[in-house]
Amino acid sequence: MCQLLGMNSFKPARLDFSLAGFLRRGGETDEHADGWGAACFTDRGCELLIDEGASATSVAAEHFQREHCPVRNVLVHIRKATQGAVSRQNCHPFVRQLWGRDWAFAHNGNLERDKLAVPQLFQPAGETDSEQAFCLICDALVQHFGAEAPTHEALHALLSETADRIAQAGTFNFMLSNGEILFARCATELHYVQRAWPFGRARLLDCEREIEFAQYNNLDDRMIIVATRPLTDEAWQAIPQGRLMAFMQGQMLAI
């Protein structure tokens, strides 16, 4: 299956250290070589970069790791195709607009499409079960809340209910963000770590690289990193199976 990486930060930050290990899993240290993509939320909205090549050898991936601008929210996905051709159209993340904001979604798992409802308001452009599930989430949000954006608590409750219903069709690990809040749902495997004061040292598991975070951060910096599997030797926390967690401003929301 695929793998996921997300960041939610209190202040604009770069993800290049985590990317240095994660992108190698796309064909070098792991088998997820059927495309990759990244959704970065800037002041202009969501900037989407996708590539059907393996991230471990992609020139675009190397450039993205080296040159992407500091942001507060990022979703990154490396794909091992289970449904749909290896093509740009089927690469995650997928993006739709709700309540005047871009929403980005990336999925890890496999859903039986004949067990999924047919989206009504939002239609998939590609062939994947993942995009169909995202469209069903968007349908549910609009049908329930209408034209007015809900509170974080109401949004979390409906997302959790909708995700549980979709998960009856198979494995449904996913990340979803609107540039302010990052949702992460674990079905089988998903982990997170917070990087905040007092900052320590970390070593990547997929390549020979380490960092002393205190050299690059201020006392009030903090961020959450979410990944399918831990990327470093830090004390990652497993998200409980079946739980939808929410992160904002670099910390977990108590909802």
Residue spans of the domains in the chain: they are 3-252
By C-alpha distance, which of 59, 4, 68 is closest to 30? 4
How confident is the model at residue 81, as a pLDDT? 79
pTM for this prediction:
0.96
How confident is the model at residue 137, as a pLDDT? 98
How confident is the model at residue 132, as a pLDDT? 97
Average pLDDT over residues 240-248: 98
Across the chain, mean pLDDT equals 94
Domain range 3-252, CATH class:
alpha beta
Task: Describe the strand order of the beta sheet including 94-98 as a list of residue ranges.
Answer: 94-98, 101-108, 173-177, 181-185, 244-248, 251-252
How confident is the model at residue 61, as a pLDDT? 86
Amino acid at 153: E
* Model confidence pLDDT, tens digit, residues 108-133: 999 999 999 999 999 999 999 999 99
pLDDT at 103 over 80: yes
What residues contact 177, with CB distance under 8 A and at least 6 apart?
6, 8, 39, 41, 73, 75, 103, 104, 183
- Expressed in angstroms, the distance from the first to the final Cα of the chain is 29
How confident is the model at residue 105, as a pLDDT? 98
* Model confidence pLDDT, tens digit, residues 34-70: 889 999 999 888 999 999 888 989 899 888 988 888 9
How confident is the model at residue 88, as a pLDDT? 81
Helices (H) and strands (E) in the chain, counts: 4, 15
pLDDT at 18 over 80: yes
The catalytic residue among 2, 46, 91, 138 is 2
How confident is the model at residue 143, as a pLDDT? 97
Backbone phi, then psi, for 250, in 5-degree steps?
80, 20
Residues 223, 16 contacting (CB under 8 angstroms): no
For residues 14 and 16, give the distance between their C-alpha atoms in angstroms, rounded to a whole number: 6
Q: Is 90 helix (H, G, I), strand (E, B) or coil?
A: helix
How confident is the model at residue 5, as a pLDDT? 98
pLDDT at 27 over 90: no
Strands, E assignment, 79-209: 94-98, 101-108, 173-177, 181-185, 191-196, 201-203
Q: How confident is residue 152, by pLDDT bands cut at 50, 70 and 90?
A: very high
Q: Is 40 noted as a catalytic residue in this protein?
A: no
